[in-house]
Amino acid sequence: MQVKDMAEGALVRGHYLITRKELIPFSSKPGRFLLMHLADKTGEIRAIVWEQGEELAAQIATGDVVAVEGKVALYRDTLQVVCSSVMKPLPGQYSPEDFLPASRRNRELMLTEFQEIIGEIADDDCRSLLEAVFVPDFLQAFSWAPAARSMHQAYIGGLLEHTLNVVRLCQSVADLYPEVDRDLLVTGALLHDIGKVEEYKVKAGIEITDVGRLIGHVVIGHDRITEIIAGFGGFPEEKALRLRHMLLSHHGQLEWGSPKEPQTLEACILHHCDNLDSEVSKFAEILAAAGRGERWTPYDSRLGRSLFAGDGDFFEPAVDTAGGSERN
Amino acid sequence: MQVKDMAEGALVRGHYLITRKELIPFSSKPGRFLLMHLADKTGEIRAIVWEQGEELAAQIATGDVVAVEGKVALYRDTLQVVCSSVMKPLPGQYSPEDFLPASRRNRELMLTEFQEIIGEIADDDCRSLLEAVFVPDFLQAFSWAPAARSMHQAYIGGLLEHTLNVVRLCQSVADLYPEVDRDLLVTGALLHDIGKVEEYKVKAGIEITDVGRLIGHVVIGHDRITEIIAGFGGFPEEKALRLRHMLLSHHGQLEWGSPKEPQTLEACILHHCDNLDSEVSKFAEILAAAGRGERWTPYDSRLGRSLFAGDGDFFEPAVDTAGGSERN
Amino acid sequence: MQVKDMAEGALVRGHYLITRKELIPFSSKPGRFLLMHLADKTGEIRAIVWEQGEELAAQIATGDVVAVEGKVALYRDTLQVVCSSVMKPLPGQYSPEDFLPASRRNRELMLTEFQEIIGEIADDDCRSLLEAVFVPDFLQAFSWAPAARSMHQAYIGGLLEHTLNVVRLCQSVADLYPEVDRDLLVTGALLHDIGKVEEYKVKAGIEITDVGRLIGHVVIGHDRITEIIAGFGGFPEEKALRLRHMLLSHHGQLEWGSPKEPQTLEACILHHCDNLDSEVSKFAEILAAAGRGERWTPYDSRLGRSLFAGDGDFFEPAVDTAGGSERN
Amino acid sequence: MQVKDMAEGALVRGHYLITRKELIPFSSKPGRFLLMHLADKTGEIRAIVWEQGEELAAQIATGDVVAVEGKVALYRDTLQVVCSSVMKPLPGQYSPEDFLPASRRNRELMLTEFQEIIGEIADDDCRSLLEAVFVPDFLQAFSWAPAARSMHQAYIGGLLEHTLNVVRLCQSVADLYPEVDRDLLVTGALLHDIGKVEEYKVKAGIEITDVGRLIGHVVIGHDRITEIIAGFGGFPEEKALRLRHMLLSHHGQLEWGSPKEPQTLEACILHHCDNLDSEVSKFAEILAAAGRGERWTPYDSRLGRSLFAGDGDFFEPAVDTAGGSERN
Amino acid sequence: MQVKDMAEGALVRGHYLITRKELIPFSSKPGRFLLMHLADKTGEIRAIVWEQGEELAAQIATGDVVAVEGKVALYRDTLQVVCSSVMKPLPGQYSPEDFLPASRRNRELMLTEFQEIIGEIADDDCRSLLEAVFVPDFLQAFSWAPAARSMHQAYIGGLLEHTLNVVRLCQSVADLYPEVDRDLLVTGALLHDIGKVEEYKVKAGIEITDVGRLIGHVVIGHDRITEIIAGFGGFPEEKALRLRHMLLSHHGQLEWGSPKEPQTLEACILHHCDNLDSEVSKFAEILAAAGRGERWTPYDSRLGRSLFAGDGDFFEPAVDTAGGSERN
Amino acid sequence: MQVKDMAEGALVRGHYLITRKELIPFSSKPGRFLLMHLADKTGEIRAIVWEQGEELAAQIATGDVVAVEGKVALYRDTLQVVCSSVMKPLPGQYSPEDFLPASRRNRELMLTEFQEIIGEIADDDCRSLLEAVFVPDFLQAFSWAPAARSMHQAYIGGLLEHTLNVVRLCQSVADLYPEVDRDLLVTGALLHDIGKVEEYKVKAGIEITDVGRLIGHVVIGHDRITEIIAGFGGFPEEKALRLRHMLLSHHGQLEWGSPKEPQTLEACILHHCDNLDSEVSKFAEILAAAGRGERWTPYDSRLGRSLFAGDGDFFEPAVDTAGGSERN
């Protein structure tokens, strides 16, 4: 049962993500019961475990997915699940897609497009490098990864979608500027964010890994291709340096986390296409979330402004139920 | 005769731009002679007027083009033109193209492409506005204007070339994001820099006009379409507001001279495509100027760095002739 | 009845501003009731509509003023109005002054002073421009407008009061610097914020209009005088350029929303006098709000500091009534 | 004889400031001669001491004023003084006014105005403090001091002129805001820059003293009034704190060298009036220096822009005489 | 009884800090009762005074310490003290150490170390100055003061501990750089934060004094040594200037509140050692607070990031008891 | 013969660095002669090759060292070498130490100290890693490398000297904070700048390599230890992550070129000790360069200020010989 369908009295059975976990003392007897918040991608609800809450609490953590059975009850005008069973699920019993949004675009079609682009690379060094990076297992992980934790394309398949967009934009720029080394540029575009596969961990939410926080996808990606190139032996030195530089500098400015700013034409183009797609995607998502009827989106602190939706639909405000059900 | 062809003893006849003008006292008699620097797009040379230099100096100014006759002589190892005649040219006797570089792309072909893009706009309001702005006289001026005074595409036809590039990039983004209003975006892209026709004055060099400095092309362009739209009568209000906002916000950030930051999806895209083309063009021009054989371009203070040219050709350093001709 | 006078059991009748609107499900039966917050300039109170709340909710919006009848009751230690009738008012039934604070200074006297200043302008071009801008209808709207939405002089008449202050300061500077063009300076000062008449919409609160957000008062004001000057025909060109530049640059810095920084002496003075009055007004308002007895004002996030009130009066803290009425 | 009047063959006698000093080896014999640049407020000229240059060089320093006798000669198209005598002047033989520009306003009248302002202070504490600071000797030094080393009012009497301007502006603000403590504000304005008397040393140029560089006029001024107030005994504590705070915070922002930002109404006003006068003075001086006929002033790196002079007079460029005297 | 030991039904007797104070109307009768929050260094608890709350409220203030008697009761699942007596304590009845954390290091040992360092100063001027500053009364106050209000070493003895650390680091740098004037450096290090004795007031919490806010410890400390040196008579001028400069510039940058940036070698070293100890102390305290079992500390808004604790212990979350005790 | 010893008529024989190279046309016949500037660490001098200059110019480049024979002559008051032979030296014929300054500290003693520090590391993982990095060949290169190209410790042995200083400071901090992992900290300090061995190329001047510019020593160093650790197999994962993070974050801020900011206690300490030594070294070098007798160093654009030398020695100004030798 999805969270959005839980009504008073309903019997609950399913997998949910724990987003809060707390032990509360009973007021009338010793000991503590367990209060959780459970979520899936349709919503979030309170849940209570009266018996053996302390034992259970020691085995689960915020961010875990659990298999729950119970019944929905009303407490102080709020629905909550009173749990009769909370268990750890076996591997494969649930899918991140139950908890996370996914790209609107078809992942298989995107993968096909991705591999066609690799196949069109004429430069043997570049194509060999791409084939060595995007081996099937890695490509599988790559196609599930999000492009960010929030901000833009923060959903399953988001990294693949963002990468394809950046490649398409880079190709458009190459059409305008004949001096661009097209194969080098496309290769860099395909590789630029591969470090995000290690930076994010997608379980039931998007988390940043320790290596993601302490090292970061810019350097992780750079290291991966440096290592593969070293293993190749005869990879041309300047070409390797240009590709490594493109990965390191793709954030464009030191204060955005690139240890070097772009110093080649292709690195310049890659940075701006990456930035363009991230920004446009962010605008598009904020406007899409605005909903029906509101001329302006809510203030967005990342952008420092509201966006103008104009003739949109009515915006559904988040309901605050505090203190409203007193009449009965 | 072009400046680069002037050798000792050559007879000079042609139009040249005055880049320096100074009266120097004779050391052996009262009075002053006139020292000028004369330039065309191939180089610059000293020139001397011994007789009636003071009268002449009162009639000409730095930045003027003059018709010169004279002969090349050697003075302290440096070539200079000793002028026998310096006159103001009649209108039409010379062309800015003699003094300024021009776009490598064919202006007529670009104009045809530009008008085809206007013709493809399906939205009647947008197309009518474009036709009202780009009347033949204005389009003529537009097609001669540079995109900047320095920095990027600072040459005849540069504004047209830059505008086409921005339109092409905007179309690529619209291909990726179906929620974009394509006609609105392309219309904004075609119009975004029209204020530069008034901002720059192209005589023999590129100068910024008073209105360019005190008001600026962002507001000039906005004012022009606001005025035309007002004359139309029935132009839809929100569409007008969106277009005006796109022109005002296309620099993207307050500190870059836009009085408003982008608050619509199309304004966001226009800004980033404009920025992308300017930056890529700047990189491409710096690298093209680097010349043969230098792995790194000279330090560029606009970028705060050198660029990596790698396997380029040999770079010809500017020759400093001070104090070298002592042996004879 | 003003909100501050509402006590338990009082009968309510009057016009109030809706500051919150929400439909809450009944806990014991299907359907939803309407919860609102109602405000006038003396305070804010909860209000409930038990019957036909959903129909009513579809007709009103946050920011509307409504005519309400009802009775004050106590719910969980909090007063709320139980409404028996909620209706949309007819035009003219209420005044913004019921909901908004107004300048402490007499508006009629300020208007007289304003017109005297125009009358003292000796330069015919400037005086004609002022008379063309400040026609009676516009002057009426101008005299009601606030100077800001918050921050400083955010009250009815605030724009007129601020403009007069800026004029007075500009005149003081002109007394010190004889090279100033006094008429030009005073004209620019009188005009500098006219765009705010379109930027703000004063109903029962101060709102920013779409054109205010997307274009902004700096450019709106500049456009208005540009258009009027264009209609004049013979207005001297440099004088027009100087006035337009003063309006465009009066925020002083790009990052404060002026697309050009001051480049004339009068533009420099106007910016600094505008800034001075805004800042002093902000300080004065924060200190006035601090109340009796507190040596320091609360931390102000706009300023990034507290202000020192020293020997002031006692400060009345906002009462938080959560969980306090348990003994009875 | 003033430098501007020195022509070939003239006999020179007068006091001049040494702005450059260098020993040059003779090319045809052992030893070195002395090359100096000499200046007064009308210009600068080369000067040579052939005999005993090395002994003389050990006794004089750049920045010294010397009494010179000699004759003007032409060397490579440049005038230079061949000195027959260079001596250190006795005290009182010359005045800084020979080398430095002075305020256009009459210093005696400014002093009278200054003392009248002190006399009008009704608050006994404030007036007593002012009288204790501005004792005749200090007032004398104060009236000679410049307001800055460059930038604005960098001339004799500039500090007095700037201080009077700031007082006048503060009084205008106090007229607009009745909640201002007028006596406190005027007292702070009179005192705000007294530390500059120690910060600058005016000999024949304006130099910054060691204490000026290492401690600075903001803290020097604060220390001086703190010390005087401490000596008074019964000065009211809060009044003292408010005055000390005004002096410390008058630069308005930490990055402009105030260790505290304004936290009282009077400190806020003082800072903005100080800033206003400095900025307006800077604009006025740049425009005044622009000269006849130039529509735009040269690029000013302090402001980051040129200023618009419009209908001004012709601008006289600095003459560069390099390599022009070849014909004779 | 410490707050952490208060259980339902316990009799309370002790001194507590008032951290909140509010009068709440009775819901069933006229008048108001007093609600307070009481704290010691082990925790915080609600407290109620039913009788004569209004009279009592007029005599006490937030930040006061009071002697309380009463009994712990449960109200809506939350413990609160129902007070039978609330009185102002006599001087000496309680110690700040009951309310504030203190340095982990022994204050007496630190004082001994501090005085040994003074004793080792070979330079007579420096040592005399130190002895004149650190007279017994001042040293006593110095040894109680915190190093900050929050951020780092914000506890009793923190200033002494921080000062010793800075001295030790300065000595290490002096070991590496023989050109350092070691006595001058150590003297500056011992004195650099003496202004904090006046800047903070330690009662039962750490407050900033008026003089701390309006003048600040940087200038207070500078003024104190300037005054003492002035009283000495023969203190060498340059040495005095160097010491004063070290105190004024020890924050290192204008935007960090130093009115001058370091301009001597010793001032440079002092600033960096001060900064190093503050930053390391901040990191160490954040990590120590993180507790058992959490790999990452909570986001710290001062640092703009979380810190990596790795293999730490389990982190005890602050318990939010809202709405959890409903079953009984 | 060292450059400083070259007097008119001296016979020259030695190795010199080419710092300028230019072909100048003969004024009296066809063809060009070669003008060079030659330098060693004692100075720089002009040099002329009259015969076959064009052939020679094609074989040498600015930055090369050449073996020169010739004779010193005087040309226009300036000394120059008239070369009779210019040849490329064989490997080993000269040492970088002839052209570059070197650390004042004995390199052998520093190496011994360095290896003792490694030997004292108790943690086996850390010590093994250090031994694997600092194999004899690498240690040799490390001990020759500079710490920077300019700014601080830009001399042979500078990297070793700087690294030892940072280690000593880190040890001092570890003495103050017992929670520090001392072995981890010292290991990170020893390794933090190893990437500079690849970043700089020391021939006769210090140059930055392509990989230094495009990748940078921060990432180069990180990659090296990542690769070695990967080869080890059983290196504890968290320890590896902490060390890698220390190298990546040691610049402390994104805008200083670290792609991650310090997130562990040891990374925080390493950054601050690195920064401290760099800054103190920069101050010390600027002051040492100031010379005798100048109270203030010249304005330093890196620091944005002058430094106070106080009672120093006399400062020798760079001699400008232009136009001084006319009397003979």
- In b/e form, how buried is each residue of E77-106, taking b as 16+ CB within 10 angstroms? bebbbbbeebeeeeeeebebebbbebbeee
Least confident of A55-59, A102-106, C148-152: C148-152
Q: What share of chain A is helix, strand, coil (3-state, %, to 5)?
A: 45, 20, 35
Least confident of A20-29, B228-237, F77-86: A20-29
- Average pLDDT by consecutive 10-residue portion of chain D (328 residues)? 89 89 81 88 88 88 87 86 90 77 89 97 96 96 89 87 98 96 98 95 82 96 96 92 98 96 98 97 90 81 91 36 32
Q: Is the pLDDT of residue B324 over 80?
A: no
pLDDT at C315: 28
Q: Token pair of B25, please?
A: 């006292």
- In b/e form, how buried is each residue of E142-158, taking b as 16+ CB within 10 angstroms? bbbbbbbeeebbbbbbb
Q: What is the mean pLDDT of residues B105-118?
A: 95
- CB–CB contacts below 8 A, C to D: 97
What is the percent of chain F where pLDDT is above 90?
60
Q: What is the mean pLDDT of residues F136-147?
A: 93
pLDDT at A92: 75
- CB–CB contacts below 8 A, A to C: 35
E6 near E17, Cβ under 8 Å?
Answer: no
Q: What is the mean pLDDT of residues A50-56?
A: 89
C-alpha F103/C-alpha F156 separation (Å) is: 6
Mutate: best of B27, B34, B75, partner D, most D CBs <10 A = B27
C-alpha C294/C-alpha C310 separation (Å) is: 7
Q: Contact F27/B74, CB-based, under 8 Å?
A: yes
| Contacts D24 to F, Cβ<8 Å | 77, 319, 321, 324-325
pLDDT at D291: 64
C-alpha E84/C-alpha F28 separation (Å) is: 113
pLDDT at E317: 29
Q: Is the pLDDT of residue A95 over 80?
A: no
C-alpha B260/C-alpha B241 separation (Å) is: 13
Q: Contact A223/F223, CB-based, under 8 Å?
A: yes
F225 near A226, Cβ under 8 Å?
Answer: no
10 Å Cβ neighbour count for D158? 25
Q: What is the mean pLDDT of residues A287-314?
A: 80
What is the percent of chain B where pLDDT is above 70?
93
State the number of CA atoms in the 13 A half-sphere of E73 facing the CB: 13
pLDDT at E256: 95
pLDDT at E220: 97
Residue of B nearest to D78 (CA): B27
pLDDT at B24: 87
pLDDT at A314: 28
Is the alpha carbon torsion for F139, F145, F146, F147 positive or negative? negative
Mark residue C257 as left, alpha or beta (left: phi above 0; alpha: psi -120 to 50; beta: remaining).
left
pLDDT class for F314, splitting at 50, 70, 90? Answer: very low
- The alpha carbon of residue B160 is apart from the nearest alpha carbon of chain C, in Å, by 24
Which candidate, F293, E166, E267, places its Cα nearest to that of D213?
A: E267
When the pLDDT of each residue in chain E is averaged and rounded to a whole number, the result is: 88
User: Coil, helix or strand for D16?
Assistant: strand
pLDDT class for F148, splitting at 50, 70, 90? Answer: confident
Closest residue to A327, CB basis, from C33, C210, C213: C33
C-alpha E185/C-alpha D275 separation (Å) is: 37
Radius of gyration of chain F (CA): 24
Which pTM does this prediction carry? 0.85
Q: Is the pLDDT of residue B200 over 60?
A: yes
10 Å Cβ neighbour count for C306? 18
State the number of CA atoms in the 13 A half-sphere of E35 facing the CB: 18
Mutate: best of D164, D166, D263, partner C, most C CBs <10 A = D263
- In b/e form, how buried is each residue of B120-158, taking b as 16+ CB within 10 angstroms? ebebebbbebbeebbeeeebeebbbbbbbeeebbbbbbb
Least confident of B157-166, C88-97, E54-63, F26-35: C88-97
Residue of D nearest to B35 (CA): D324
Q: Token pair of F45, please?
A: 């001098």
C-alpha E144/C-alpha E138 separation (Å) is: 10
Q: Is the pLDDT of residue F316 over 50?
A: no
pLDDT at D204: 67
Q: How far is CA E62 from CA A71, C38, C193, C306, E38, in A?
A: 47, 33, 45, 18, 10
- Quick one: E161 exposed, middle or buried, by C-beta within 10 A (0-12, 13-18, 19+)? buried
- The alpha carbon of residue B41 is apart from the nearest alpha carbon of chain A, in Å, by 24
Residue listed under structure tokens 């107030």: D229
Q: Token pair of E134, please?
A: 């650190």
C-alpha F106/C-alpha D144 separation (Å) is: 56
pLDDT at E323: 33
Least confident of D159-163, E84-88, E172-176: E84-88
Closest residue to B216, CB basis, from C211, C241, C259: C259
User: Coil, helix or strand for E16?
Assistant: strand
Q: What tens digit of pLDDT does each residue of E200-247 get?
A: 988 767 889 999 999 999 999 999 999 999 999 889 999 999 999 999
- Per the DSSP assignment, residues forming a β-bridge with C40 are C43
C-alpha E20/C-alpha E35 separation (Å) is: 8
pLDDT at D61: 82
F188 near F243, Cβ under 8 Å?
Answer: yes
Quickly list H helices, C177-216: 182-191, 196-199, 210-214
Q: What is the mean pLDDT of residues A91-98?
A: 76
pLDDT class for C291, splitting at 50, 70, 90? Answer: low
C-alpha E32/C-alpha E34 separation (Å) is: 7
pLDDT at B321: 28
pLDDT at E156: 87
pLDDT class for F291, splitting at 50, 70, 90? Answer: low
C-alpha F83/C-alpha B143 separation (Å) is: 57
Closest residue to E324, CB basis, from A24, A29, A78: A24
| Summary count for chain D: helices (H), strands (E) | 11, 7
C-alpha B199/C-alpha B97 separation (Å) is: 19
Q: Token pair of A249, please?
A: 């500098």
More confident residue, B115 or B323: B115
Rounded (10°) CA dihedral C174, C178, C181, C187: 10
Q: What is the mean pLDDT of residues C197-201?
A: 91
More confident residue, F94 or B125: B125
Residues 6+ apart with CB under 8 A from E67: E14, E15, E85, E86, E87, E88, E89, E93
Q: Token pair of E119, please?
A: 């004793």
More confident residue, D326 or F214: F214
Strands (E), A157-309: 200-202, 206-208
Q: What is the mean pLDDT of residues E72-93?
A: 86
Closest residue to C325, CB basis, from E22, E27, E214: E27
When the pLDDT of each residue in chain C is averaged and rounded to a whole number, the result is: 88
Q: Contact D324/B33, CB-based, under 8 Å?
A: yes
- The alpha carbon of residue E27 is apart from the nearest alpha carbon of chain C, in Å, by 6
F166 near F189, Cβ under 8 Å?
Answer: yes
Mark residue D145 as left, alpha or beta (left: phi above 0; alpha: psi -120 to 50; beta: remaining).
beta
Q: What is the mean pLDDT of residues E257-273?
A: 97
What is the percent of chain F where pLDDT is above 70?
93
Residues 6+ apart with CB under 8 A from E19: E37, E38, E39, E44, E62
User: If you write DSSP's letter for every residue of E54-85 in order, what string do you get?
Assistant: HHHHHH--TT-EEEEEEEEEEETTEEEEEEEE
User: If you write DSSP's letter for every residue of A96-144 in order, what string do you get?
Assistant: GGGTS-B-SS-HHHHHHHHHHHHHH---HHHHHHHHHHS-HHHHHHHHH
C-alpha B13/C-alpha E1 separation (Å) is: 105
pLDDT class for C163, splitting at 50, 70, 90? Answer: very high
Q: What is the mean pLDDT of residues F158-180?
A: 96
pLDDT at B313: 34
When the pLDDT of each residue in chain F is averaged and rounded to a whole number, the result is: 88
Q: What tens digit of pLDDT does each residue of A251-286 get?
A: 999 999 999 999 999 999 999 999 999 999 999 999
pLDDT at A277: 97
Q: What is the mean pLDDT of residues E158-162?
A: 96
Residue type, D277: D
The helix or strand, by DSSP H or E, that contains position E255, with its residue range, turns out to be none
- Whether B contacts E, i.e. 3 or more CB pairs less than 8 A apart, is no
Mutate: best of A26, A27, A215, partner E, most E CBs <10 A = A27
Pairing of strands B78-87, B43-49: parallel
pLDDT at D187: 98
Q: Is the pLDDT of residue E63 over 70?
A: yes
pLDDT at E95: 77
Q: Token pair of A41, please?
A: 């991608």
Q: Contact C288/D169, CB-based, under 8 Å?
A: no
Q: Is the pLDDT of residue B91 over 80?
A: no
Identify which of A285-299, C246-260, E1-15 has the greatest average pLDDT: C246-260
- The alpha carbon of residue B12 is apart from the nearest alpha carbon of chain C, in Å, by 41
Q: Is the pLDDT of residue B277 over 80?
A: yes
| Contacts C265 to D, Cβ<8 Å | 280, 283-284, 287, 307
Q: Is the pLDDT of residue F326 over 90?
A: no
Q: What is the mean pLDDT of residues F133-148?
A: 93
10 Å Cβ neighbour count for D61? 9
User: Coil, helix or strand for F157?
Assistant: coil
- The alpha carbon of residue F103 is apart from the nearest alpha carbon of chain E, in Å, by 13
Quote the DSSP letter at residue F106.
Answer: -
Q: Is the pLDDT of residue F313 over 70?
A: no
- In b/e form, how buried is each residue of A194-212, taking b as 16+ CB within 10 angstroms? bbbbbbbebebbbebebbb
pLDDT at C292: 62
